[in-house]
Structure 1
Amino acid sequence: MRCLSCAMICREMLDTTQSEAAPPPPKDEPRGCLFALSQPPLMIFLAVIGCLILMAALHDLLLL
């Protein structure tokens, strides 16, 4: 004998019709971290900070 609750679960799992309460698909996909890193002002800022750190490291290694 089959369990009635198992049969109900299986029927619900096989039902692929759309319900009316389903949320609409998103219009715009959220943009992630790689999009933010590709922006020119941020890249310029990171390049300046990197150069300052490099200059400080070279100053410590070569002049002190």
Structure 2
Amino acid sequence: PRVADWPLMSNPASICAIIIIYLFFVLYIGPWYMKNRPAYSLNRLMIFYNISVAVASGIVFYG
């Protein structure tokens, strides 16, 4: 196939490994790390992200 040379497309083992690592982090390492810590405040980061996505969408749409 044409995508055989793309990264992570040669075999399914790499994608499965990434999914397993992600699930391990989300289900075990993340909660263990945040157990005794306050939640992060991401308000400014999310505002910046939303503005960036809106600007990028406008650039793509209006071209």
The TM-score range, normalised by the shorter chain, is: 0.3 to 0.5
Using the size of structure 1 for normalisation, the TM-score is 0.35
Using the size of structure 2 for normalisation, the TM-score is 0.36
| Structure with a larger share of its residues in helix | 2
